[in-house]
């Protein structure tokens, strides 16, 4: 038996009829770029996120970039985030002309350590982007408090956290804006590229809507210079179908994580993920930590168990961000975690047998 890291086909099989009929509706209405299927999904997703508005865009990267741009982040500004994230978080800052400034992570949650924020705030700081990595929200209360004290925007990178909760509030609904990716492998994944920004701010939502459609509210009347970052109709229709299943899929992920945690508890060379008291974690990624990461990953691969590494090199040590001037040792916790993280197979349809098999091989490796 092999265990894939992720199996999108098995999930598609369970919703095939709903998807086919949704796609057929788009074909028959020819609403391919934006349009009613996107608008329907936007309403449903805003309600799901406990937010006033959702605006569908082309990807999670678009969502972050456009949210920052529409909040006025520009040349010479600084935006604080963590080096323990996918590069898109920092790219969005860079493509506004601003500078990414990193703070190290908390060793329990792997998210931004709020205690470190004060040390890096300058007169140029305009915003903070907490990343809800792996599906667990960052500790938002102290982040929001510091942001309020310094007049900063908070943009949540919720690209891995659809349906996650912070003290009962949905990820994405807490800051000025929340950004989501619907990349196919996400907890809520499109069948192509898509993303969304959620916000309670009607003016911001309207500006993002206009920006994503060449700065026009009315066809060929351009009130601002925008871009083409529309979500396409097929993705809107697919996402509406899949959103109905998301709560059950997230619960299945949580059940799988619980089982992994229980049966890995006696392996002292493995650190399993910790769900913070304030959090409802949705386990987009189930990452363990071990000092023998590379050897364990190879041993599991030999048994046809596929794992991932999220992420092998912290952003401040990537060639692309060498110009920021950070070095090895700048963010010791993020760097240590990057050498120890191993993402085990995780998806809602993963079976108990598959989890047992993964853990049996991990125990065999350490025996």
Ligand X SMILES: Cc1ncc(COP(=O)(O)O)c(C=O)c1O
Q: What is the binding site for ligand X (CB under 6 A)?
A: 59-61, 85-86, 88-89, 131, 157, 159-160, 181, 183, 195
* Cβ closest to ligand X, residue 263 vs residue 346: 346
Distance CA 22, CA 16 (A): 10
Q: State the nearest-atom distance from the C-beta of 256 to ligand X, in Å.
A: 20
Q: State the nearest-atom distance from the C-beta of 191 to ligand X, in Å.
A: 13
Distance CA 53, CA 68 (A): 16
User: Alpha carbon of 217 to those of 53, 68, 220, 287: distances in Å?
Assistant: 16, 20, 9, 43
Q: State the nearest-atom distance from the C-beta of 85 to ligand X, in Å.
A: 5
Give yes or no for a contact between 189 and 8, defined as CB atoms under 8 angstroms apart.
yes
* Cβ closest to ligand X, residue 89 vs residue 354: 89
Q: State the nearest-atom distance from the C-beta of 335 to ligand X, in Å.
A: 18
Q: State the nearest-atom distance from the C-beta of 295 to ligand X, in Å.
A: 27
* Cβ closest to ligand X, residue 186 vs residue 296: 186
* Cβ closest to ligand X, residue 93 vs residue 307: 93
Distance CA 63, CA 304 (A): 36
* Cβ closest to ligand X, residue 38 vs residue 357: 38
* Cβ closest to ligand X, residue 135 vs residue 365: 135
Helices (H) and strands (E) in the chain — how many of each? 11, 14
Q: Nearest residue by C-beta to ligand X? A: 60
* Cβ closest to ligand X, residue 88 vs residue 140: 88
Q: How far is CA 193 from the centre of its chain?
A: 14
Helix (H) or strand (E) holding 279: strand 279-280
Helix (H) or strand (E) holding 55: strand 53-57
Helix (H) or strand (E) holding 252: helix 233-264
Non-local (6+) Cβ contacts of 351 within 8 A are none
Q: State the nearest-atom distance from the C-beta of 330 to ligand X, in Å.
A: 20
Burial 178-210 (b: 16+ CB within 10 A, else e): bbbbbbeebbbbbbebbbbbbbbbeebbebbbb
Q: State the nearest-atom distance from the C-beta of 102 to ligand X, in Å.
A: 14
């Amino acid at each position: 038996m092999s265990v894939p890291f992720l199996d999108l086909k098995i999930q598609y099989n369970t919703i095939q009829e709903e998807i086919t009929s949704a796609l057929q509706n788009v074909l028959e209405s020819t609403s391919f770029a934006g349009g009613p299927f996107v608008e329907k999904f936007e309403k449903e997703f805003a309600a799901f996120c406990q937010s006033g508005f959702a605006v569908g865009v082309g990807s999670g990267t678009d969502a972050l970039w456009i949210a920052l741009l529409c909040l006025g982040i520009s040349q010479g500004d600084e935006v604080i985030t963590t080096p323990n994230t996918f590069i898109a978080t920092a790219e969005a800052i860079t493509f506004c002309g601003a500078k990414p400034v990193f703070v190290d992570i908390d060793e329990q949650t792997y998210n931004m350590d709020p205690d470190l924020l004060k040390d890096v705030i300058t007169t140029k700081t305009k915003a903070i982007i907490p990343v809800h990595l792996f599906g667990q929200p960052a500790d938002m209360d102290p982040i929001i408090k510091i942001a309020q004290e310094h007049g900063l925007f908070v943009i949540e990178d919720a690209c891995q956290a659809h349906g996650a909760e912070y003290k009962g509030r949905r990820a994405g609904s807490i800051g000025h804006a929340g950004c989501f990716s619907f990349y196919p492998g996400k907890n809520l994944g499109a069948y192509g590229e898509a993303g969304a920004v959620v916000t309670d701010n009607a003016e911001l939502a309207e500006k993002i809507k206009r920006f994503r459609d060449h700065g026009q509210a009315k066809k060929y009347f351009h009130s601002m210079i925008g871009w083409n970052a529309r979500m396409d109709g097929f993705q809107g229709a697919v996402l509406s179908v899949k959103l109905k299943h998301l709560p059950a899929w997230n619960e299945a992920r949580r059940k799988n994580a619980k089982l992994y945690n229980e049966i890995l508890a006696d392996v002292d060379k493995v650190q399993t993920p910790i769900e913070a008291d304030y959090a409802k974690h949705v386990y987009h990624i189930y990452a363990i930590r071990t000092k023998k990461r590379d050897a364990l990953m190879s041993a599991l691969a030999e048994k046809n168990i596929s794992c991932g590494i999220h992420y092998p090199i912290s952003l401040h040590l990537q060639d692309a961000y060498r110009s920021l001037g950070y070095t090895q040792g700048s963010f010791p916790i993020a760097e240590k975690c990057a050498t120890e993280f191993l993402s085990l197979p995780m998806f809602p349809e993963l079976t108990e047998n598959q989890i047992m098999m993964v853990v049996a091989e991990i125990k065999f490796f350490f025996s």
